[in-house]
Structures are given as structure tokens and as C-alpha cells.
Amino acid sequence: MDVNQSNENVNLIKGNPKEAIRRTAPPIIISLFVMSLYNIVDRIWVAGLGTDPLAALGFVEPLFMIIIGLGDGLGAGANSVISRFIGSNDYDEASNSSLHATLIVLIISIIFPLIFIPFLRQILSLMGASDVMNYAMDYILVIFIFTIAFLFNCLFSFQLRAEGDAKRSTVIMVSGGLINIILDPIFIYILNLGIAGSAYATVISNIIPDLLAIYWIYLSKSTYIDYSIKKFKFKWSLIKNLLFVGLPASIEELIMAVVNIVLNGMLSIIAGTAVIASFTSAFSIIEIGMMPGIGVGNAAITIAGVAYSAGSYKKLKTTCHYSIKLSLLISSITFAIIYIFAPQIAHLFSYSASNGSLNVLVTECLRDLSFFVIVAAIGGVCGNVLQGMGKGITSLGLTIIRELILVLLFSFLFCFILSWGIKGVYYGMSIGALIGSLIEFLVFELYLKRFKEEKLN
């Protein structure tokens, strides 16, 4: 990519917010879709091994989510800080903050697995995975050892996105997904590695795009931001700013993982591994339905950051409101598709003789959770815009209210107090997310009003 193209990307995110969202969101949505697709492919291939390996995948997914959430959070922090410097036309600090983000991720990539690997078995036992412990350990140990591959994959993608380069950010994510889809059956069945083979395929599919990103960013030097070491000037203020958004965003993802663990625990109390396997399978489809909203929200981080640092109330308001409308429109379509075609989708996870009974369970779960796709779009966009504004703590607090309090509260209430059983968990997720998302929207409107008053004064 030449300098003119890099400048064009930057001019795009500084211009009309609607056009910027329409042009930057689709590549992000495509990349997220492919990422979700390879998660589904993981489950489809692992489903062929039986119900227990599939249930094991469900137990370890929250732990994997912690790693991805850490990477996404640190990436979101980098995106927010870089885009705000770009918005204020401070090229040198944009470059310096990018290098600081790289340093932070490198340190965390080393420390994180050293802390958690010794306790993985105990953690899985507390999560209720004792019956499928060997399967779970075979998978998650490989993932944790190669934490560095996942964290840098997230960071590189967000760094490119921060300067409006959604295309190459998409290539990083899409190429990894396609590689994983190809490698899964080879490692699981041809090499006879079982569920561990799925983990190895996932690791390799992240390492290869990482190498491509390293070439673009550090070797070819074809980015708007200069990643040369000569641009690095250590500043605690940059570390603070990056972590001020990055850590709360990472904790938000950690909260999602904790909520998933608790929901799995509720389901394990009232049902068994078959229900957990069906919930894991169905929610991977629900996540695909959420991708448009998440993609638009991720695009909004950059555009909101630029608008906020430039002091443009109108652009900031347009970014959030237009993003919500676009997310709701697309999410409503995906909701309808999931609800109508739930039985056909369920066949993807119940094709073998060992798990044929999952079809009905997955179908019911898909339909009960399909409304979650719509309600998640509102809160997701508002949270991303707040991150773009540098309000990471506020976004974290709202996520705690939405997920850790409301989703779990209503799921517990409907499941155990009202005795709705499995459906109570599913309905509670949607109701809690709806109320929490509306609260997030109101809080954003308050921030927007305050921002307008500050500019008028």
C-alpha cells in the first residue's frame, strides 16, 4: 500500500461518519464472520468425535474467550488512542502509541500463560468439567502455550483499523479463518490428533497471518503510522492511556467469559453435558448473527475517536446513532434467518450417530436465543463508541451492569425461582441484555449532551 492510499484511509475516517462506517464496517464484518465460521467449523469437526469432546469445547471456550478478550481489549485501547491522535493530527504520538501498544502486548503474552497454565486443571474442575477433563486439557493447554499468537493477531488487526486500513485488517482475520477451516480435518482426523488437533490448527491459523502483518507493518513499512524504533520514546502517559481503555475493555471480555461459565454451571445443574453441548453449538450460531453489530461497533471505535478528539459533536452523534440503526437493521434480518432455519442449522452439529439427539436441543436453543442477536446490537455499539471516546471505565461499568448483574439475575430468576428450567436461562439472557443495552444508550446520550455543552461553553 502506498502513501496516497494510507492518506486516503485517514481522510475517510476524518470525513463523513456515515460514509466511513459504510466503507469500514463491511470488511470488519466479513472478517468477524469468517472468524465465527471457523469456530463453528471447529465444533462441527469436533462433534464427529462425540458428545463429550463437544461438551469439553464448551467448557474451555470461556477460557479461550479470556485470551481473545484480552487481545481485543488491548487492541481496542490501541485503536482508541491511535485514532484520537490521528484526529488531532499528531502523527508522531500516533506512531509512538502504536509502539507502546506492541510493547505492552509482548510483555502480557509472556506473563499471562506463565500465571494460568499451572492452574488450568483446577479451574476446569471448578467449572464442572471433571467428566470431560482430559478432552478439555488436550485443547486448552495448547491454546494457552501459544497465547502470543492470539494477542498479536488482535493487536495487528486493530492497529491497521485505527488508521482506516480495514482491508488489510480483514485479510489478517479472514486468512486465519480460511487456514483453520482447511487444517481442522487434517489435524483432527488424518493426523489422528483428536480435539488437540483442533487446537493446533487454531494456533497455526493465527501464526501465519501474524507473519503477514509483521511484513506489512515492520518490513515493507507501507502503513500510515511509522513503526520504526526511532519513533519510540517511552512515556508512562501513553502506557496509562492505552491501559485506561485497553484494560477495561479486556475486563469486559473477561466478564463475558465469567458469565458464560456461570450460565454453563446453571445448565449443568438442571441438565447434563448434552444440553451444554447444544448450548455451545447454538451460541456459536448466535455469535454469527451478532457479527454485523459487532463489526459496525468496531468501526465506530475509530470514527468516534477521531470525531471526539476533533471536538465534533455532530460527527460523534451521527457515528453512534447511525451505527445503531445500521446494526439493528442487519441484526433483525439475521434474527429472522436463525429463527426460521433453526432445524436445518441444527443438523450441522448432529450429523453423526453419537450426537443425533442434539438436533432438537440445538433447534430449541437457537430459537430461544435468537432475539439476543437484536438486543446485543444496541449495547455493543454504545460501548464501542464510549471506548473510542476514551471512556473505558464507563463502558466497563455498563458491561458489569448488563452482563454480570442483569443477564445472570434474570437467568437465575427465570430458571430457578420461576422454575422455567433451561428456557429460563435462555430467556433471562435476552431480557437482561435488553435492559442493560437500553441503560447503555441512555448513558451515552448523557455523555453526548455533556460534550455538546462543553463545546458551546
Taking the domains of the chain in order of start, what are their residue ranges? Answer: 1-234, 247-456
* HEC-encoded secondary structure of 84-114: HHHHCCCHHHHHHHHHHHHHHHHHHHHHHHH
Please answer whether residues 139 and 56 qualify as being in contact, where contact means their C-beta atoms are separated by less than 8 angstroms.
yes
Which among 88-102, 287-301, 402-416 has the top mean pLDDT?
402-416
Instruction: Report the pLDDT averaged over residues 101-109.
Output: 96
The span from the CA of 174 to the CA of 118, in Å, is 33
Ordered alpha helix ranges (H), 310-407: 313-340, 342-346, 358-369, 372-388, 392-399
Model confidence pLDDT, tens digit, residues 304-325? 988 998 888 999 999 999 999 9
The span from the CA of 10 to the CA of 19, in Å, is 13
Please answer whether residues 327 and 293 qualify as being in contact, where contact means their C-beta atoms are separated by less than 8 angstroms.
yes
Please answer whether residues 25 and 296 qualify as being in contact, where contact means their C-beta atoms are separated by less than 8 angstroms.
yes
- With a CB cutoff of 8 Å and minimum separation 6, the contacts of 417 are none
Cβ atoms within 10 Å, residue 240: 9
Which among 44-53, 210-219, 355-364 has the top mean pLDDT?
210-219
Residue with cell 466479513: 30
pTM metric for this prediction:
0.75
User: Between the CA atoms of 452, 399, 250 and 312, what dihedral angle is there, to the nearest 10 degrees?
Assistant: -10
Q: Comparing C-alpha atoms, which of 64, 47, 442 is closest to residue 287? A: 64
The span from the CA of 248 to the CA of 402, in Å, is 15
**Per-residue pLDDT, 89:** 84
**Per-residue pLDDT, 6:** 54
Q: Comparing C-alpha atoms, which of 295, 376, 373, 380 is closest to residue 334? A: 373
Burial 398-424 (b: 16+ CB within 10 A, else e): bbbbbbbebbbebbbbbbeeeebbbeb
**Per-residue pLDDT, 7:** 59
Mean pLDDT estimate for the chain: 89
The span from the CA of 275 to the CA of 256, in Å, is 20
**Per-residue pLDDT, 1:** 47
Residue type, 156: F
**Per-residue pLDDT, 333:** 94
CA 279 to chain centre: 18
Q: Comparing C-alpha atoms, which of 432, 444, 445 is closest to residue 402? A: 432
Instruction: Report the pLDDT averaged over residues 320-345.
Output: 94
Please answer whether residues 292 and 379 qualify as being in contact, where contact means their C-beta atoms are separated by less than 8 angstroms.
no
**Per-residue pLDDT, 352:** 62
Please answer whether residues 198 and 139 qualify as being in contact, where contact means their C-beta atoms are separated by less than 8 angstroms.
yes
- Range scoring the smallest mean pLDDT among 112-121, 290-299, 399-408: 290-299
pLDDT at 354 > cutoff 70: no
Q: Comparing C-alpha atoms, which of 159, 166, 174 is closest to residue 19? A: 166
Cell triple for 433: 441484555
Q: Comparing C-alpha atoms, which of 214, 193, 209, 254 is closest to residue 35? A: 209
Instruction: Report the pLDDT averaged over residues 240-250.
Output: 87
pLDDT at 3 > cutoff 50: no
Instruction: Report the pLDDT averaged over residues 136-147.
Output: 96
Cβ atoms within 10 Å, residue 185: 17
**What angle in degrees, to the nearest 10, is found between the helix axes of 51-87 and 91-116?**
160
Of residues 177 and 134, more confidently modeled:
134
The span from the CA of 120 to the CA of 443, in Å, is 38
CA 151 to chain centre: 12
- With a CB cutoff of 8 Å and minimum separation 6, the contacts of 349 are 43, 44, 47, 54, 277, 278, 281, 355, 358, 359, 362
Residue type, 335: F
Indicate the pLDDT class of residue 353, thresholds 50, 70 and 90.
Answer: low
